[in-house]
């Protein structure tokens, strides 16, 4: 089973986006539509001979952790199927290099600075860097994204590939119509690009995977044991890591989390809850929980993995936990479980819109007990 969840099909209220996000999306659509009027309407090729390929550029100028982690199935499959090809990645998040560069065959991760147009010198430096190397293949996995197509136009590549969209205007050599999706989950959508190389989809169901190193796991384990020791807690205690932040109305209130913690500790007093802090959540939930933070996202992912369970809403750190091999309980309210839920047979995703914090605490305790038996 790809995703384990308790889910009753119903009509969901769409997630609410801030006005600036709505304006940005509409403006991008208008710009793409206008530029597509001037694009070359030439016939496109469908396939690329993988035996010709020695260098690949993946273009995904996005600033969200989850969307960058969604590249890992494609990166890992390309490394297996085209082992002699080096992979560069253009992203929009400065920390992405630290997350993705340790993956097999990844040579370099280039980040696009935010508000690039406001800093002409930075923009020129970026353009120079982007054009410094010629690739065999550039894969635009962002579809009709304006920024992705600008990057596609700037870089040098023998072949430039994308799936068809009415918003395409960059000069692509290879374009395919999207067929029936092999995978519904957004984290596996990038695997569709294997079709350009006539590479079969993996026989074993893939998942997100940043391939944590042994050193990262050992460092995370040492930090967990130190945290427990400082607080006079036995090392054999069951540990749950939680992350309370999420984008927009996916975020779960602190009042909800407080009730969940209270109920969970009544069900099992031996459970320890560790609140993962971030710049947006600088203080811990209450005095009943411990706190932990780490700016090194790979070590943070390894920390999730050495805990007994990770729990959060639909957010980037949830997908980081999945990609690090942690056991995950994902709490969904607005987004589609089948499309964004926690990948992996060991993980569980539940819809909490009609569940109380107490009911979710019971589900958590039962799931933790199931994991402990395995």
- Determine the number of helices (DSSP H) and then strands (DSSP E) in the chain: 12, 13
> Can you give the pLDDT at residue 1?
32
Alpha-carbon gap, residue 212 to 96, rounded angstroms: 14
Domains of the chain by range and CATH?
39-197 (3.40.50.2000), 212-373 (3.40.50.2000)
Q: Which residues of the chain have pLDDT under 70?
A: 1-43, 113-120, 179-181, 373-374
Nearest CA to 3 out of 368, 366, 322, 353 is that of 322
CA 94, 95, 96: angle at the middle one, nearest 5?
A: 90
pLDDT for 3 equals: 40
Q: What is the pLDDT of residue 19?
A: 56
For residue 7, the model assigns a pLDDT of 34
Enumerate long-range contacts of 83-89, CB under 8 Å, 24 or more apart.
Answer: 84/54, 85/53, 85/54, 85/55, 85/56, 85/136, 86/54, 86/55, 86/56, 87/55, 87/56, 87/57, 87/58, 88/55, 88/56, 88/57, 88/58, 88/133, 88/135, 89/57, 89/58, 89/60
Res 62: pLDDT: 86
Reported for 112-115, long-range contacts at CB under 8 A and 24+ positions apart, including other chains, are: 112/61, 112/147, 112/151, 114/63
Helices 254-267, 357-373: inter-axial angle, 10-degree rounding:
50
Question: Helix crossing, 297-306 with 214-230: angle to 10°?
Answer: 70
Supply the pLDDT for residue 157.
96
Return the CA Rg of the chain: 22
pTM of the model: 0.88
């Amino acid at each position: 089973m790809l995703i384990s969840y308790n889910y009753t099909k119903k009509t969901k209220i769409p997630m609410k986006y801030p006005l600036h996000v709505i304006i940005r999306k509409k403006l991008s659509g208008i710009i793409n539509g206008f530029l597509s009027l001037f694009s070359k309407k030439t016939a496109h090729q469908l396939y690329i001979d993988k035996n010709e390929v020695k260098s690949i550029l993946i273009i995904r100028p996005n600033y969200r952790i989850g969307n960058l982690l969604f590249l890992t199935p494609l990166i890992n499959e390309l490394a297996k199927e085209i082992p002699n090809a080096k992979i560069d990645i253009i992203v929009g998040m400065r920390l992405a290099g630290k997350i993705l560069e340790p993956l097999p065959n990844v040579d370099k991760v280039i980040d696009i600075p935010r508000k690039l147009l406001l800093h002409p010198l930075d923009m020129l430096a970026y353009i120079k860097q982007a054009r410094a190397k010629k690739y065999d293949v550039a894969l635009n996995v962002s579809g009709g994204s304006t920024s992705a197509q600008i990057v596609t136009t700037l870089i040098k590549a023998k072949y430039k590939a994308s799936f068809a969209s009415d918003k395409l205007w960059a000069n692509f050599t290879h374009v395919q119509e999207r067929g029936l999706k092999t995978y519904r989950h957004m984290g596996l959508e990038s695997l569709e690009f294997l079709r350009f190389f006539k590479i079969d989809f993996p026989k074993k169901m893939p998942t997100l995977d940043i391939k944590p190193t042994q050193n990262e796991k050992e460092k995370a384990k040492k930090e967990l044991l130190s945290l427990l020791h400082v607080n006079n807690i036995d090392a054999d205690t069951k540990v749950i890591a939680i992350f309370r932040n999420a984008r927009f109305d996916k975020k779960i209130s602190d009042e909800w989390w407080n009730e969940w913690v209270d109920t969970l500790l009544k069900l099992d007093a031996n459970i320890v809850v560790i609140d993962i802090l971030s710049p947006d959540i600088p203080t811990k939930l209450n005095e009943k929980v411990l706190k932990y933070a780490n700016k090194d996202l790979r070590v943070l992912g390894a920390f999730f993995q050495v805990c007994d369970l990770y729990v959060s809403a639909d957010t980037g750190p949830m997908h980081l936990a999945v990609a690090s091999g942690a056991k995950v309980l994902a709490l969904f309210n607005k987004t589609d479980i089948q499309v964004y839920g926690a990948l992996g047979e060991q993980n569980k995703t539940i819809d909490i819109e009609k569940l109380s914090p107490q009911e979710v605490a019971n589900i958590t305790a039962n799931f933790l007990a199931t994991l402990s038996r395995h």
